[in-house]
Amino acid sequence: MSQKNKAILLFATIIFIDQVVKLWVKTNMWLGQEHHVFGNWFIIHFTENNGMAYGMEFGGSIGKILLSLFRIAAISAIGWYIFTLIKKGTNTGVILGFTAIMAGAFGNIIDSAFYGLLYGPSDWFQVAQFMPKGGGYAHFLYGKVVDMLYFPIIDTNLPKWFPIMGGEHFLFFQPVFNIADSAITCGVIYMLLFERKFFK
Contacts of 125 (CB under 8 A, 6+ apart): 30
Q: Is the pTM of this model over 0.75?
A: yes
Given the residues 18, 111, 147, 155, the one annotated as active site: 147
Provide the pLDDT for residue 169. Answer: 80
pLDDT recorded at residue 15: 98
- 18, 111, 123, 181: the catalytic one is 181
Catalytic residue check, 155 = no
| Average pLDDT for runs of 10 along the chain of length 200 | 95 98 96 92 91 58 81 94 95 96 95 94 89 91 94 84 80 88 95 88
Domain extent at residue 139: 3-199
**Cis status, amide bond into 16, omega within 30 of 0:** no
What's the alpha-carbon Rg for the chain, to the nearest Å? Answer: 19
Question: What is the Cα–Cα distance from 147 to 38, expressed in whole angstroms?
Answer: 18
Residue 61 pLDDT: 72
pLDDT of res. 152: 87
pLDDT of residue 12: 98
Give every CB contact of residue 29 below 8 A, 6+ residues apart in sequence: 35, 44, 46, 127, 148
pLDDT at 55: 52
Q: What is the pLDDT of residue 117?
A: 95
pLDDT of residue 163: 83
Domain count along the chain: 1
Q: Residue 35 half-sphere exposure, CB side, CA atoms within 13 Å? A: 10
Q: Mark whether 111 is an active-site residue.
A: no
